[in-house]
């Protein structure tokens, strides 16, 4: 993202609350995600566990809908 110092993962519910960051949630609708505090707590717990004692973690961003379309069209 231009002019950004970093992409962050944080609690948010509405698309307008993000300025290029990643919001986590349990369910989604049009321009909304819900249960973001619960999802964020689970995300940070998993990240903390992975990084404890010098561990490693990576975050891979995917678009499940696009992957499903490609799979159905035998593009993958």
- Read off the pLDDT of residues 12-38 as tens digits, 9 standing for 90 and up: 888 888 877 888 888 878 888 889 999
Domain ranges, residue 39:
9-72
Write down the pTM of the prediction. 0.67
Residue 1 lies in a domain: no
Residue 68 lies in a domain: yes
Largest CA distance in the chain: 43
User: Residue 9 pairs with which residues in a beta bridge?
Assistant: 22
> In total, how many domains does the chain have?
1
Radius of gyration over alpha carbons of the chain, in Å? Answer: 15
């Amino acid at each position: 993202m231009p002019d950004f110092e970093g992409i962050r993962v944080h609690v948010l519910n509405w698309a307008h609350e993000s300025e290029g960051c990643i919001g986590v949630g349990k369910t989604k609708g049009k321009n909304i995600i819900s249960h973001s505090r619960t999802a964020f707590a689970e995300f940070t717990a998993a990240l903390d566990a992975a990084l404890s004692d010098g561990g490693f973690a990576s975050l891979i961003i995917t678009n499940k809908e696009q992957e499903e379309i490609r799979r159905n069209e035998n593009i993958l």
